[in-house]
Structure 1
């Protein structure tokens, strides 16, 4: 019975995850459907799914129908009147079930659906961390690490050797000298880390809708990069004519106004990299979001920062231009002037929430 229940539960989980994979584009594009439950799991609402089974009607309710029948003729009790008449229904409608799924599993689904290649990190052997691995067996240790099978085998060997073991009435009683415990070794292992810098234009032309697109896309980018690296550090920069480093909550909620000078954000990003993330040890990713409206005389300075300071040290520099009713959208054309010279510069135009899915694939589809 237990095995049957476990088998049915496993099948149900496969059906639910299949539904999530099928509708992944919808979940990616509409961030409000994604609720974080903790650091390692998220909660996703999916339509209620039932395992198919036979449902018996009341006794004497009628058998199989015979004959051709008429168009629209009800075939059993409780069928709706074809003329639209009748009483209001009292049955429950379709419900939504919240399904918990791990961040790692979500990342795997994202990678499979978007066909994202595995990332080959740099600096693999420069950062090392200590790791305890249970690889040996010892004679001493706490009860919580007692190895039952090894303890039992030692007791059995002792009793057979001493002649006290009776095959007709087998009873094995371990004593203190029989006890064996799992033991560990502390090892050094290479560690790969990633630094993600999110840069967003918060001038007056960026609306709340554009910021929601940035928030949703950033979540999925985080989800994928966390699955590829041992440690991920994030930094956040907002700017209008002046750039500021802020925390995550401020990044998504701040509303400013005024002109736009994107070079100020590039200067701030470079100072953060110099301060916290030596390029020889860190895999550096920059994701910039703007509506493409920049002070015209600043464009030349922006390209200089990119060519000389940022693109040479970044695994990937991604610029996402979010369509706005107020922004000019000219900046992406400036970036295309140097796009052919740097293959780690990736550009994406995001017209609406429906474009998030394709934008993520554009950014991460080359596996850098």
Structure 2
């Protein structure tokens, strides 16, 4: 095994030792990642390498014919990582990360949490022909379903078939004319026509018409052969096809639907939302953004900050901004409703995620927020309460929302008091949405 093989092997070991996904979400450096490229630190092992002895004195050697004698210095110490004067270098070291795209992240999180969110296709972008599974009564000859036609004809053949010799023997019973034989055949469920009986009777001589004294005597002398046995022995000469049996294969129409999603992230930026609370929001919302990006064909994000008023911000501003105002959560939902008008519910999947410390102005939750959550069509509404020090006396928003919506499959409430709660919060949110 060469050095290159060793290196590749050590890299594989490093990837196997990458930070656990749950650990990364709760405690890792999320800032190293991009919206479309997640960097998860690898618990790297040292790679094998040859190094010079970096001691203050040169080595000693032994030899003859110009080679150093025992005790003579051999070479001088070489400079380390720095300039030619041996000063320390200023370039940063190379960090090792396991890179995954949002699709892989979503799959890994599904595996980690036991989830399998199936995105819903909304807007039809293409209609195309699928397999020829539909059936119509008309069509080009090349699409005629011959197997179906043959089976229909064969069923008719079997339904119409009867033992002609046996019926002809009944006509030879003394006193049994065509009418009597026709009535007998109907009683025996033999599918023979009156015309066939009359033709067969006309073909008999007077002596043959009285060959048997009774039906019982005829039955004792003649065996009735079942249809299946007769077909196996004699085969089938013809199949009675009819135009009414013709069916033509037609391709099913497949609607190719684009799976679009718009995610509205709402965050309380009032004075009570200090650094620890903001960090908990970031650690909860960022993986949700990555997950939904990986699940959908096209994902767009809206970021809304609010205190007593609400305004749209960029992603970069969203997790860091802080104001000194009061709190009116309904202002964010009012703005969200306006912005979502550009994303029709018929074409877009929608998620509305809000987070804060559950503090809200008096009666705002019950009188305005809850009615607006009911009015805004969405796959899922979620509220994440972040209270590192436990519930404050007036932090009741999450409890009011949870109490009102109960076990609804379109509303989730999660509580996060520390990074250790984040994975459970994410599971609560993603497992709430119904796939029906």
TM-score (norm. length: structure 1): 0.63
Give the aligned partner of residue 19 of structure 1: 17
Query: Structure 1 residues 47 and 272 mapped into 2: Cα distance closer, same or farther (>3 Å)?
Result: same
Tell me, in whole angstroms, the C-alpha distance in 2 between the residues paired with 1:50 and 1:31.
21
Tell me, in whole angstroms, the C-alpha distance in 1 between the residues paired with 2:409 and 2:37.
34
Residues 1:280 and 2:342 are matched in the alignment: no
Residues 1:261 and 2:328 are matched in the alignment: yes
Give the aligned partner of residue 359 of structure 2: 293
Asked whether the equivalents of residues 46 and 96 of structure 1 are also in contact (C-alpha less than 8 Å), the reply is no
| Structure 1 position 5, deviation (Å) | 5.7
Asked whether the equivalents of residues 360 and 397 of structure 2 are also in contact (C-alpha less than 8 Å), the reply is yes
Give the aligned partner of residue 116 of structure 2: 117
Tell me, in whole angstroms, the C-alpha distance in 2 between the residues paired with 1:96 and 1:106.
24
Residues 1:240 and 2:289 are matched in the alignment: no
Residues 1:214 and 2:281 are matched in the alignment: yes
Out of 287, 292, 296, the position equivalent to 1:229 is 296
Residues 1:346 and 2:412 are matched in the alignment: yes
Asked whether the equivalents of residues 243 and 264 of structure 1 are also in contact (C-alpha less than 8 Å), the reply is yes
| Structure 1 position 314, deviation (Å) | 0.5
Asked whether the equivalents of residues 129 and 189 of structure 1 are also in contact (C-alpha less than 8 Å), the reply is yes
Tell me, in whole angstroms, the C-alpha distance in 2 between the residues paired with 1:360 and 1:256.
27
Give the aligned partner of residue 330 of structure 1: 396
| Structure 1 position 337, deviation (Å) | 2.5
| Structure 1 position 189, deviation (Å) | 4.7
Tell me, in whole angstroms, the C-alpha distance in 2 between the residues paired with 1:31 and 1:99.
12
3-state DSSP of counterpart to 1:196 = strand
Tell me, in whole angstroms, the C-alpha distance in 2 between the residues paired with 1:284 and 1:235.
11
Query: Structure 1 residues 211 and 127 mapped into 2: Cα distance closer, same or farther (>3 Å)?
Result: farther
Query: Which stretches in structure 1 are left out of the alignment for 5+ residues?
Result: 53-94, 131-187
Alignment of 1:146-165 (within 5 A): none
3-state DSSP of counterpart to 1:318 = strand
Tell me, in whole angstroms, the C-alpha distance in 2 between the residues paired with 1:13 and 1:190.
40
Tell me, in whole angstroms, the C-alpha distance in 1 between the residues paired with 2:260 and 2:386.
29
| Structure 1 position 235, deviation (Å) | 0.3
| Structure 1 position 248, deviation (Å) | 1.2
Tell me, in whole angstroms, the C-alpha distance in 2 between the residues paired with 1:207 and 1:250.
15
| Structure 1 position 200, deviation (Å) | 0.6
3-state DSSP of counterpart to 1:296 = coil
Give the aligned partner of residue 35 of structure 1: 32
3-state DSSP of counterpart to 1:281 = coil
Query: Structure 1 residues 114 and 282 mapped into 2: Cα distance closer, same or farther (>3 Å)?
Result: same
Asked whether the equivalents of residues 204 and 256 of structure 1 are also in contact (C-alpha less than 8 Å), the reply is yes
Q: Deviations over 1:231-290 (max 9, x none)?
A: 10000111111111111122122111222111111111111111x210010000011001
In the alignment of these two chains, the number of paired residues is: 261
| Structure 1 position 223, deviation (Å) | 1.4
Q: Deviations over 1:285-326 (max 9, x none)?
A: 01100100011221222222122x12xx10011110000558
TM-score (norm. length: structure 2): 0.54
Query: Structure 1 residues 129 and 356 mapped into 2: Cα distance closer, same or farther (>3 Å)?
Result: farther
Query: Which stretches in structure 2 are left out of the alignment for 5+ residues?
Result: 49-92, 128-254
Asked whether the equivalents of residues 14 and 44 of structure 2 are also in contact (C-alpha less than 8 Å), the reply is no
Tell me, in whole angstroms, the C-alpha distance in 1 between the residues paired with 2:36 and 2:329.
35
Asked whether the equivalents of residues 380 and 433 of structure 2 are also in contact (C-alpha less than 8 Å), the reply is no
